[in-house]
Amino acid sequence: MSSTSPSSTSSTSTISTSSLAVASLGTPRIGPRRELKFALESFWSGATDERALIETGAGLRAANWARQKKLGVSVIPSNDFSFYDQMLDTSVMVGAVPEIYRWNGGPVPLATYFAMARGAQGKTQEASCGHINHGRDAAQGMPALEMTKWFDTNYHYMVPELARDQKFTLASRKPIEEYEEAKALGYQTRPVLVGPVTFLKLAKSKDAGFNPLSLLDRLLPVYIDVLRELACRGAEWVQIDEPCLVLDLDIVGQQALHYAYTEIASAVPQLKIMLATYFGGLGGNRDTALALPVAGLHLDLVRAPEQIDGLADFSDDRVLSLGIIDGRNIWRADLSRILHRLEPVIAKLGKDRVQIAPSCSLLHVPIDLALETGLDSEIKSWLAFSVQKLEELSTLGTALAGGRGAAEASLRTSDEAAAARKASPRIHDAKVAARIAGIDDAMRRRANAFAERAGVQHERFNLPAFPTTTIGSFPQTAEVRKARAAHASGALTDEVYKIYLQDQTARAVQWQETIGLDVLVHGEFERNDMVQYFGEQLAGFAFTTHGWVQSYGSRYVRPPVLFGDVSRPKPMTVEWWQYAQSLTKKPMKAMLTGPVTILNWSFVRDDIARSEACRQIALAIRDEVADLEAAGAGMIQIDEAALREGLPLRQSEWKAYLDWTVDAFRLCSSGVRDETQIHTHMCYSEFNDIIDAIGAMDADVISIETSRSKMELLDAFRNYRYPNEIGPGVYDIHSPRVPEIEEMTALLKLARMRLTDTQIWINPDCGLKTRKWEEVRPALVNMVAAARELRASA
């Protein structure tokens, strides 16, 4: 898989006259056909050996370099590849391997690396809450490092774990090896490193109160070693990513940056640093960033286009990398519009001082649109994946260097696509526009306040104190997934598949009744995914076949593409609810995914505001809620698992986000009568900072994740005097361990110290789809027993 036409090893700063420099900050590592996933999983299962995995990695890197070269990229990255995650690579590079992994110095073995990633003793990790991963099984053996979201993306990184007395040492030479590997294939690359300040800012320590940033002094020598060696071996530029520059940094953070880059500049003066920022604007860190002694600065001009205005201040000989193609979304760019913005800037700064680039690494978009042979051709003509985005940059580079005439044909195609998309009737639905225009305040408000509704609801349902329920899904067993795959491939007819799903549902309902749960669910067996299931039934969404994006490790997702106005052609869940309710006299809770979660887990159209797209989804869900109510559903749960994760990176933008997300929730949930109980579910363990918004959502019942936080997060609800009902999770569904009755009664005792008894529901932390029936059965039996004990003693 090596390059067919190796380039000369000319320096990356040599700008050819026919094009402006086109830089790539990083490319997807998973392979066009998910080669990396299959190689990893085969290695983990023991089917293939380490050598096979290493070879696959090398093949993917060679293919990535060749592809970028062929697409006209002049600044090609190395060390953007990873077997698992670039933050984990960085931990390993600097020897930050926590003691439990029993590393004894020397190069870090692959087994240790994967133990940090996934835990050891064959325990595999799983996404437990839709797309989010909240924690991994580590009942025995070594637990994995903690994992969390990389800024506001759906990529998850392994959180570095540093001790107060942490020592750093160069323990992996990956950046150097990959630089050499590329060079041997004929590519002069710009190696990429996660910057030392971002690394420490994202790290955590077991020592409460210890700030990992204070380790900067000890960390820098390792970075300097790496940089020196890269320089020695011929690297002229190194890209160092410091996305922490788009966060609200305090003076300590700003000073840390200043210190780090001053040290680096004086230790390795011969090396040029391209300091990359992305996912937002520099904001209050602008002066800090501009004062750093680095040779180049990359700015995200997609998220923060206004940054282009201040660029004239950048009046010395430093190189500017302009992130102008969206690295976070999949829309084809309007190239003429970009040219219009860039031409004056280039004229001012001069061609040799500017590079153009995607806004961030292309890790966050799928690889190649050409593979989407099944996609509607009109929609396809509006999209660009990583390959297409690099082509766009190459066109822009040519036009900026040689004038628009030099790229005439490509620009014309781009213009045509932009015009066609704008005018397409597929995107604009007058009926949706009319409904949006018709929204009034009454639609955002329940007819009566909670206190009044609660009375009516209690009368209607007549539930015992501390009612028990679950969050919605029951185990998605291998058998269920197999049946779904067989149905998708045509091997199972609609009819047979439906009977199978009904049978699964009936068993689940019957079992819930047998063990004595008070409010039942149908189990969600018919759903492939809590967002995709709805997206597939809503107008305005499209789906890809190969549009995989890394979520973490070997787990990839294919986000739905929200391309047009959203509406609901027909009921989506009513039949399944009706079927499930027909099997029992107990209340059957209907189950929907909320508008914010659908939005946050999709690639969203960029021609209208996200808030606007969200409002459209809210109206579609509102229709479903109305139909469920009309069919007799007395309880309707609207999950907003992703509301919190959509919070903007900067605190100053939170209020606006929470305003429109709460508005969307109210819009979808407020059309019902008093006696209809609206539930919502959120799987977070942090509510303090968004409690006002939670209150404003005004769901009759909210179920939340609390078991691992020992109910402490209920303090937020208590302090707020949250009046509505709450189901604090008493069973940690992220672990295969079956909780004892006493553990749950102990948790409930803690809950009762913070809430009034009439507020409390009893439920697990989240849905049970990732668990096994053998785990779920005893756990829920115990949960019901805990509720009974509580009732007896209360």
Question: Which active-site residues does the annotation give?
Answer: 734
Residue ranges of alpha helices (H) inside 138-208 are 174-184, 196-202
Where is the binding site for L-methionine, in residues? 471-473, 524, 639
φ and ψ at residue 21, rounded to 5 degrees: -60, 130
Q: Which stretch binds ligand GLN (CB under 6 A): 185-193, 268-276, 321-329, 764-772?
A: 764-772
Which residue in 639, 674, 700, 732 binds ligand GLN (CB under 6 A)? 639
Q: Which is nearer to Zn ion, 129 or 633 (CB)?
A: 129
Q: Does 621 interact with ligand GLN (rule: CB under 6 A)?
A: no
Q: Does 332 interact with ligand GLN (rule: CB under 6 A)?
A: no
422 vs 419: CA distance, rounded Å: 5
Least distance from ligand GLN to the Cβ atom of residue 472, Å: 3
Burial status of residue 117 (CB atoms within 10 A of its CB: 0-12, 13-18, 19 or more): buried
Q: Does 130 interact with ligand GLN (rule: CB under 6 A)?
A: yes
Q: Which does 130 bind (CB under 5 to 8 A by kind): ligand GLN, Zn ion, none?
A: ligand GLN
Q: Does 193 interact with ligand GLN (rule: CB under 6 A)?
A: no
Q: Which stretch binds ligand GLN (CB under 6 A): 399-407, 465-473, 569-577, 581-589?
A: 465-473
| CB neighbour list of residue 371: distance below 8 Å, 6 or more residues apart | 32, 545, 546
Q: Select from 172, 212, 218 the least CA-distant residue to 193.
A: 172
Residues between 116 and 155 that touch Zn ion (CB under 5 A): 129
- Provide the 10 A C-beta neighbour count for residue 229: 16
Where is the binding site, in residues? 34-37, 149, 154, 471-473, 524, 601, 639, 645, 681, 683, 705, 766
DSSP 95: T
H or E segment to which residue 342 belongs = helix 335-349
Q: Which stretch binds ligand GLN (CB under 6 A): 320-328, 440-448, 471-479, 691-699?
A: 471-479
- Are the C-beta atoms of 581 and 635 separated by less than 8 Å? no
Least distance from Zn ion to the Cβ atom of residue 573, Å: 18
DSSP 214: G
Where is the binding site for Zn(2+), in residues? 681, 683, 705, 766
Least distance from Zn ion to the Cβ atom of residue 703, Å: 8
The two tokens of residue 260 are 């780090």
Q: Does 530 interact with ligand GLN (rule: CB under 6 A)?
A: yes
DSSP 350: -
SS (H, E, C) 549-616: EEEECCEEECCCEEEEEEECCCCCCHHHHHHHHHCCCCCEEEEEECHHHHHHCCEECCCCCHHHHHHH
62 vs 81: CA distance, rounded Å: 11
Which residue in 190, 681, 734, 754 binds ligand GLN (CB under 6 A)? 681
| CB neighbour list of residue 656: distance below 8 Å, 6 or more residues apart | none
Q: Which stretch binds Zn ion (CB under 5 A): 338-346, 504-512, 716-724, 758-766?
A: 758-766
Give the type of residue at 391.
E
243 vs 329: CA distance, rounded Å: 18
Q: Does 129 interact with ligand GLN (rule: CB under 6 A)?
A: yes
Q: Which does 698 bind (CB under 5 to 8 A by kind): Zn ion, ligand GLN, none?
A: none
Q: Which is nearer to ligand GLN, 125 or 166 (CB)?
A: 125
How far is Cα of residue 736 from the mean position of the Cα atoms in its chain?
A: 24
559 vs 598: CA distance, rounded Å: 10
How far is Cα of residue 510 from the mean position of the Cα atoms in its chain?
A: 36
H or E segment to which residue 550 belongs = strand 549-552
H or E segment to which residue 259 belongs = helix 251-267
Which residue in 338, 517, 530, 766 binds Zn ion (CB under 5 A)? 766
Q: By rule CB under 6 A, what count of residues binds ligand GLN? A: 15
Q: Give 679's strand partners.
A: 637, 701
Residues between 575 and 604 that touch ligand GLN (CB under 6 A): 591
Q: Does 642 interact with Zn ion (rule: CB under 5 A)?
A: no
Binding flags for ligand GLN, 693-732, as an x/- string (CB under 6 A)? ----------------------------------------
Query: Which residue's CB atom is positioned nearest to Zn ion?
Result: 683
Query: Which residue's CB atom is positioned nearest to ligand GLN?
Result: 767
Q: Does 644 interact with ligand GLN (rule: CB under 6 A)?
A: no
271 vs 193: CA distance, rounded Å: 14
Least distance from ligand GLN to the Cβ atom of residue 563, Å: 24
Longest pairwise C-alpha distance within the chain: 83
Q: Which stretch binds ligand GLN (CB under 6 A): 222-230, 468-476, 616-624, 628-636?
A: 468-476
Q: Does 683 interact with Zn ion (rule: CB under 5 A)?
A: yes
DSSP string, 657-726: HHHHHHHHHHHHHTTS-TTSEEEEEE--S--GGGHHHHHHH--SEEEE--GGGTTTTHHHHHHHT--SEE
Q: Which is nearer to Zn ion, 20 or 471 (CB)?
A: 471
Least distance from ligand GLN to the Cβ atom of residue 463, Å: 20
Q: Which is nearer to ligand GLN, 524 or 698 (CB)?
A: 524
Q: Does 634 interact with ligand GLN (rule: CB under 6 A)?
A: no
Integer CA distances (angstroms), 510 to 150, 158, 206, 463, 479, in order: 42, 41, 45, 19, 19
**Interhelix angle for 174-184 vs 50-70, to 10°?**
60
Beta strands at 319-325 and 549-552: parallel, antiparallel or unpaired: unpaired
Q: Which does 473 bind (CB under 5 to 8 A by kind): ligand GLN, Zn ion, none?
A: ligand GLN
Q: Which is nearer to Zn ion, 93 or 780 (CB)?
A: 780
Which residue in 321, 469, 473, 550 binds ligand GLN (CB under 6 A)? 473
What is the radius of gyration, based on Cα positions, of the chain? 27
Q: Does 769 interact with ligand GLN (rule: CB under 6 A)?
A: yes
The two tokens of residue 561 are 């593409």
Q: Which does 472 bind (CB under 5 to 8 A by kind): ligand GLN, Zn ion, none?
A: ligand GLN
Q: Which does 591 bind (CB under 5 to 8 A by kind): ligand GLN, Zn ion, none?
A: ligand GLN
Beta strands at 555-557 and 549-552: parallel, antiparallel or unpaired: antiparallel
Q: Which is nearer to Zn ion, 27 or 470 (CB)?
A: 470
Residues between 220 and 259 that touch ligand GLN (CB under 6 A): none
Q: Select from 103, 173, 104 the least CA-distant residue to 145.
A: 103
Q: Which is nearer to Zn ion, 277 or 706 (CB)?
A: 706
Q: Which residues bind ligand GLN (CB under 6 A)?
A: 129-130, 471-473, 524, 530, 591, 639, 641, 681, 683, 766-767, 769
Q: Which residues bind Zn ion (CB under 5 A)?
A: 129, 683, 766
